[in-house]
């Protein structure tokens, strides 16, 4: 019902903006570009706005090069409708918040259970493994064409957020949608290779620096790694290059919970959390003002590196001990 209401807005409006969260991942970029292509195919005027550096590895997606920064958009530009995708709250979209003030209607489409329902229309499905799945349903239900370029974008979304169909959020619906996308003739092997396998020299240098910081706690059940600004400088890499590193230390056989502490600026740390079975990392992220999913979440904490780590470990221990 909500998806058909959103479809009516898509057909009646003329000028749209589509945005997503800072530190954009494959789901964010794939879903905004998928929706962008659908809207342009039906003759609409669309700005895609992401207020951050884009990871190079998604540059194979059609439309990547026309993604704008919030600064590129005139403050007076008005939109019939603004889509905010994959963002649990308004403050996740950085300076794009300035753009969404110019929207007649804000449509919030997301799959984070912690979503704050900030839109005029909210479609939040925590059972969807990726926002790419929801955009697929939105396009299909309203009778629009899921073209090959759209399929490439949405397939990228889906494999990113399901870890290539391996995470527990994967459902039969995920496979059905992916199957339909494959039928459009996309090169899914190449997409998986781009998303998961290809690495640059600076990225591998950064990987070796970050992995050398590995610390283990509580009988090796918790792993912690660190990223500093200095490492980015020395390796010549970008912050986004470290996106997947946490998976490596989550994969350690004894580990349930992995913590990645990334210095954003002096005294401010962006935290990524992953778990396998025991710890609900969403609860930990929420305790520090962040959000996410049960097995993957994030937050920002101010303090010294050691203070930040100790605060996080204390919260993880409560859950490991069954206190929470």
Residues in contact with Mn ion by CB under 5 A are: 27, 86, 161
CB of residue 124 to Mn ion, shortest distance in Å:
12
CB of residue 26 to Mn ion, shortest distance in Å:
9
Q: Which is nearer to Mn ion, 86 or 315 (CB)?
A: 86
CB of residue 127 to Mn ion, shortest distance in Å:
13
Residue 274 is given by DSSP the state E
Give per-residue burial for 298-307: e unless 16+ CB within 10 Å, then b: bbbbeeeeee
CB of residue 217 to Mn ion, shortest distance in Å:
28
CB of residue 191 to Mn ion, shortest distance in Å:
17
Rg of the Cα atoms in the chain: 19
- Evaluate whether 10 touches 142 at the Cβ level (below 8 Å): yes
Q: Which is nearer to Mn ion, 13 or 119 (CB)?
A: 119
Inter-CA distances, 103 with 19, 79, 100, 119, 125, Å? 12, 5, 5, 11, 23
3-state secondary structure of 142: coil
Using CB atoms, what's the residue nearest to Mn ion?
A: 27
Q: Which is nearer to Mn ion, 110 or 256 (CB)?
A: 110
Beta-carbon contacts of 251 under 8 Å, excluding residues fewer than 6 positions away, are: none
Q: Which is nearer to Mn ion, 209 or 297 (CB)?
A: 297
The packing angle between helices 148-162 and 26-41, to 10°, is 160
Q: Which is nearer to Mn ion, 73 or 299 (CB)?
A: 299
């Amino acid at each position: 019902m909500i998806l058909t209401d959103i479809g009516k807005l898509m057909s009646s409006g003329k000028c749209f903006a589509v945005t997503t969260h800072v530190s954009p991942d494959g789901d964010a970029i794939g879903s905004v570009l998928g929706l962008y292509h659908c809207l342009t195919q039906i003759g609409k005027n669309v700005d895609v706005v992401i207020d951050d550096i884009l990871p190079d590895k998604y540059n194979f997606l059609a439309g990547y090069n026309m993604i704008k920064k919030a600064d590129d958009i005139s403050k007076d530009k008005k939109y019939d409708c603004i889509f905010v995708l994959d963002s649990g709250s308004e403050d996740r979209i950085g300076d794009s918040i300035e753009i969404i003030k110019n929207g007649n209607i804000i449509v919030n489409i997301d799959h984070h259970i912690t979503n704050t329902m900030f839109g005029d229309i909210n479609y939040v499905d925590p059972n969807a493994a990726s926002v790419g799945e929801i955009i697929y349903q939105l396009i299909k239900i309203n009778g629009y064409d899921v073209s090959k370029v759209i399929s490439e974008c949405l397939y990228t979304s889906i494999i990113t957020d399901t870890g290539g169909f391996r995470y527990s959020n994967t459902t039969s619906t995920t496979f059905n949608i992916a199957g339909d996308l494959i039928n459009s003739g996309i090169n899914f092997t190449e997409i998986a290779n781009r998303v998961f396998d290809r690495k640059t020299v600076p990225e591998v240098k950064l990987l070796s620096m970050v992995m050398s910081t590995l610390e283990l706690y509580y009988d090796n059940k918790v792993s912690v790694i660190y990223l500093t600004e200095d490492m980015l400088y020395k390796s010549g890499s970008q912050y986004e290059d470290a996106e997947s590193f946490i998976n490596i230390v989550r994969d350690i056989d004894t580990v349930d919970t992995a913590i990645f502490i990334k210095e954003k600026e002096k005294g401010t740390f962006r935290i990524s959390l992953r778990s396998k079975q025991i710890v609900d990392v969403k609860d930990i992220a929420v305790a520090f003002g962040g959000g996410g999913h049960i097995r993957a979440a994030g937050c920002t904490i101010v303090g010294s590196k050691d203070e930040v780590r100790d605060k996080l470990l204390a919260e993880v221990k409560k859950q490991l001990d069954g206190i929470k």
